Each structure stands twice: as C-alpha cells, then as structure tokens.
Amino acid sequence: MVKVHLDTDLGGDIDDLCALAMLLKWPKTEITGITTVADDRGIRAGFTRYALKLAGKSDIPVKAGADVSLGRYRVRCGYQDKRYWPEAIEGADNLLDEALALLKESITEGAIIIGIGPFTNLYLLDKKYPGILRQAKLFLMGGYIYPPRSGYPQ
C-alpha cells in the first residue's frame, strides 16, 4: 500500500479535482490526508470535502491550510464558479495549525507528499518544524509563472 498526502489548491480549475479523482481510484493507494492552500475562509477545503463525499470517501481528513488573508499571495486566487456546484459549499473553519499537524502526521507515517498548488503550507510546516521536509518524500508540481517584470529578459 502506498500512502499519499495531497496538498492542493483545488477549486481554481479542474486539474486538482482530476488529480484527486485519479488518486481515489489508483490501486493500492491510501490517502492519509488532504490539505488545501491559498484558501479563502476554507472554501477550497469545502470543495474538497464535497468531492470526497460524492466519491464515498468522507473519512479522509481534510484541513484548510494557508489562507489568502496571510498576505502571502501576489494575486487573489480564483475559485470555481459556484454555479458549477449543485448546492452551497461550506468552508472549513479549522486553524492553520491543524493543517500543519495533518501534514506532519502524514510525513511521520511515511506518506508521499504531493504538492500541486502553491507550496505555502510546506514552507510554513518547515518553519514550524525545522528540517521536517528533509524526512519527507516530496512530489511537487507547479504550473504558473508570472511574466518577467519590465527591464528583465523575456
């Protein structure tokens, strides 16, 4: 059995939802937890919990991580239009420390940490528990690069 922990910004576009669906059906894979990043009052965690409920996997722990209110994001993150959800989605109201504790627990259990959003939760985790990421098996994917500022090579 392969253990994985998904750190995601699910809710901005469809790619993270597809990654979650793939992990849920991947043979011999156990999702130890899911943390959301670049959240806004826990709505990304709410979207994630809703998707897990549809898949019959509500037992997977989900915690809202780094929130946009921390001021760590250059732009406000987009969310899936609420018209795409069949009902109102409630945000998670947990504390950031709970998300970091879930990440730490997954690392302790030997889970592969899959980061498919901004890596703010991982930064905050390593800041709180210095050196913990050296113990972690990380699989990181990033996708958005801002255009160079005026005066820099294109």
pTM for the model stands at 0.88
Question: Buried (b) or exposed (e) across 137-148, using 16+ Cβ within 10 A?
Answer: eeeeeeeeeeee
Backbone angles phi, psi at 101, to 5 degrees: -65, -40
- Res 144: pLDDT: 63
- Res 12: pLDDT: 73
Q: Encode the chain (154 residues) as per-residue pLDDT tens digits.
A: 999 999 999 987 788 999 999 999 999 999 999 999 988 889 899 999 999 999 999 999 999 999 877 766 555 555 656 667 788 888 899 999 999 999 999 999 999 999 998 899 999 999 999 999 999 999 998 766 667 778 877 6
